[in-house]
Chain A
Amino acid sequence: MTPHAHDDHEHEVATEARFVIKPKDINEEISWAQINEDVLSSLERPRPLYWVIFFGSLAAFCWGVYCEIYQYNTGLGVASLENPQVWGLYIATFIFWIGMSHSGTLLSAILLLMHADWRKPIYRFAEAMTTFSLMTAGLFVLVHLGRIWEFYYVVAYPSERWTWPNFSSPLVWDATAIGTYLTTSIIFLYFGMIPDLAICRDKAHGFRRLFYRVMSVGWKGTDWQWANFRVTYLTLACLLIPLAVSVHSIVATDFAVSQQPGWHTTSFPPYFVAGALYSGCAAIITLFIILRYTFRFEQYMTIPILEKLAKLTFAISMVWTYLNLIEYASVWYGTDSYAKDALIFRATGTYAGWWWAMNILASVVPFAMTFKAVRTHIPTMMVVSLLLNLGMWIERFMIVTPTFAHGYYPWTWTGNWWPNWVQIGIIIGSFGWFTMLFMLFCKIFPSVSMYEVKEMVYHRIRARKKTAPQPAPIVQPAQS
């Protein structure tokens, strides 16, 4: 084989193709027209399960709205909040939703920079998950406030009274960081969708054509547009990654900056970021399976991709487990007797069952994913991903509640606090709100990136051609 020069990127793809692909991530024989047709049909008639999920989540959302209206009118006392349990499930679930948002960025931005092309069929819905879970988290900040109608005091806005928020408070950092992250991820989601919206525009009729025409802002697919698109998309991805890391670090400082036992830990920011990526990856697996079925995406959301997601989730779960054990160890061997006492209370007190459930669900269950049979079996992966997310939700509950129940001051130790139906109703409503928005998004916008899947297929075919066995050179027998 004669050495010949080709550019780096092709070489990289060729190397990957030669050594990595066993079962194919995607059917390389699929034509571009077929990709358009398959994805666009997801905007038409999904499987009936779609409507079950949509109306189910709408009902849950309505129930949540009812609970919130009741709480708004009567006061937060109806949510069984009390002194000292002043935060309850609202803040715990707030962290949960913020955490969910991280893996969208992981898939769409970090893996983009790492040239992991298996992300291409699934990053779009992951990015949508980021946006909607951030919106849900934002709702919890409002639901939790005593005077919701004055939430804007927390935002730094120019006021004629010269009053500013208190910049030393982590809640102000929160408001700023989440606002920035939400704005950037909406732009990122929308921007990455523009070429696909143009395809929708070309195929649509009537008012939908008008809608997609406005949304696709005159995309024609010229070289000039593609060049600018690439640069901007990459820049946005680079901007988004530090934002994602900073947002959850800042949420962690809500706890780490405070003085309470069990919260006052410097390892909280990386611990929170790892937990965020972890629960987000598990949620992506859940949504992957749901979308694959409801929109008939079997060709694109393939088993090898699911397997890669499972491996990624397992890796992150081990990082999280390590940081979790570090936190226990640093408290256990530390000199802060209050924190140690709070840790013992978690493991043996009122919430011991939850604490052990969290450790088993989030640290032991992921080991199931070390088996290939589990990774490639869809119903099992569905169950595993839901269990992991349950574990991560309990983790947030375990961060917030026991510290209130067992703080510094013995007089305020409450052994038996549990949330009541109003809190649980609002939590259920938040899940409904998220699922409803997500399902609407998948119905209105292409949830698989058409142009990137085409790229993926194209590169893989080229790579295969490059590495295809060359015909053996004909050796002429030496004849005199």
Chain B
Amino acid sequence: MRAIAAPAHQKRIPGEGGTWVFLFGDMLVFGAFFVTFLVERSKAPDVFDAARSTLHIGIGVINTLVLLTSSLCIVLTLNAVRAAQRPLATRAAAAAMAFGLLFIALKVYEYISLGAAGHGPGANDFYLYYFILTGLHLFHVCLGLGALSFVLTQTRRPELSDTRTALVEGAACFWHLVDLLWIFLFALLYLVS
């Protein structure tokens, strides 16, 4: 296994270098969506603000905390792997996945609830963007859960090669990306629009 407990001053790239091309690409694509959302908002700010107030902000806050905690669980997973605490790493990875599933469950409840109140994607432009942006993010959550299931399997291995370690770190970074994108989405959709 790679010497993960590297000296603090040593510079290193988490995961494979190529992973970061993908991660930055994703961040820029979402950045373009954020800009588009605000441009559309500028055409009808009062409509967007009124629609924003119909969202379940409590669920938005809870989902933010859920993803932050899930991210912390993955930090714990990596630290436990590095400290050769495999059972702890397995439990932390499983907890991270459980929080990911909770996020999906809350999101689905929110979608159903909004739809039942007549606030579906066709109601106005705010809801259209809300469903597109959160739907794309939800797709990332599902991909991230796939990445985490890979991490979970690796925590059961007695030792990881350099390549596997880099893959685990890359999967962890993708999960943090899911968290990161939600932070901007939460601010834009639930608080700012």
A, B: real partners: no
